[in-house]
A and B are shown apart, each in its own frame.
Chain A
Amino acid sequence: MSRQQSINSNQTGASTITAQSPLNRSLRTTGEEIWKRSERINAELFTLTYGAIVSQLCTDYGRNFVQINEELFQMGYNIGVRLIEDFLARTALPRCSDLQETSEVISKCAFKIFLNISPKVINWSNNKDAFSLLIEDNPLSDFVELPMDAMDQLWYSNVLCGVLKGALEMVQLDCDISFVSDILRGDQQTELRIKLNKILKDEIPIGED
Chain B
Amino acid sequence: MAIETILIINKSGGLIYQRNFSDTFASKLNSNDFLIIASTIHSVFAIASQITPKALQITQNNVDYVIPYIPMVGMESSNPQQNRNNNLPVKLGSFKGPDYFKESFVSWNKSGLRQLNSDQFTMYIYQTMTGLKFVALSSNVLANKPASQIGNMDKGKAQNLASQVADNFLRKIYCVYCDYVMKDPFYSLEMPIKSELFDKKVKQMVGNLS
Q: A residues near B, CB below 8 A?
A: 21-23, 33, 36-39, 81-86, 88-90, 92, 94-95, 170-171, 203, 205-209
Q: Which B residues are CB-close (under 8 A) to A89?
A: 100, 128, 171, 174-175, 177-178
Residue-wise interface mask of B (174-198) relative to A, using a CB-CB cutoff of 8 A (1 in contact, 0 not): 1101110011000001000000000
User: Complex: how many Å from CA A170 to CA B183?
Assistant: 16
Neighbour of A39 across the interface among B48, B49, B91, B111, CB < 8 A? B91
Least CB distance from B96 to A in Å reads 5
Residue among B96, B174, B182 making CB contact with A38, cutoff 8 Å: B96
Contact A207 B174 (CB under 8 A): no
Q: Mark B129-170, 1 if CB is under 8 A from A, else 0.
A: 111100000000000000000000000000000000000000
Bound complex: CA of A74 vs CA of B118, how far in Å?
Answer: 47
**Does B66 sit within 8 A of A, measured CB to CB?**
yes
Q: Are B182 and A205 in contact (CB under 8 A)?
A: no
- Whether A207 contacts B130 in the complex (CB less than 8 A), given A39-B94, A39-B96, comes out as no
Is B130 a contact partner of A171 (Cβ separation < 8 A)?
Answer: yes
Question: How many chain B residues touch the partner (CB < 8 A)?
Answer: 39
Residue contact B129 to A205, C-beta cutoff 8 Å: yes
Residues of B within 8 A of A90 (CB): 95, 101, 175
> 5 tightest CB-CB pairs across the interface, nearest first?
A207-B112, A92-B105, A205-B131, A82-B182, A86-B178
Chain A proximity mask over B101-136: 1 for CB below 8 Å, otherwise 0: 111111011111100000000000001111110000
CB distance from B115 to the nearest CB of A (A): 13
Residue positions of B touching A, CB distance < 8 A: 11, 45-46, 48-49, 66, 91, 93-96, 100-106, 108-113, 127-132, 171, 174-175, 177-179, 182-183, 189
Q: How many interface contacts (CB-CB < 8 Å) are there between A and B? A: 100
Inter-chain contacts of A209 with B (CB < 8 A): 49, 110-111
Tell me if B182 and A22 are in contact (CB < 8 A): no
Give the residue of B95, B101, B109 whose beta carbon is less than 8 angstroms from that of A207.
B109
Q: From known contacts A86-B178, A89-B175, A89-B177, infer whether A94 and B106 are also in contact, taking CB-CB under 8 Å.
A: yes
Nearest CB on B from A88, distance (A)? 5
Q: Which residues of the partner chain A approach B96 to less than 8 Å between Cβ atoms?
A: 36-39
A207 and B111 form a contact (CB under 8 A): yes
A208 touches B182 (CB 8 A): no
Min CB distance, A14 to chain B, in Å?
A: 22
Shortest CB distance A134–B (Å): 27
Q: Are B110 and A207 in contact, CB atoms less than 8 angstroms apart?
A: yes
Q: B183 contacts which chain A residues (CB < 8 A)?
A: 82, 86
A207/B175 contact (C-beta < 8 A), A23-B104, A90-B101 known = no
**Subset of 19 A-B contacts with CB under 8 Å:** A23-B104, A33-B103, A39-B94, A39-B96, A82-B182, A85-B132, A85-B174, A89-B128, A89-B174, A90-B175, A92-B106, A92-B171, A94-B106, A94-B108, A205-B11, A205-B129, A205-B130, A206-B46, A207-B45
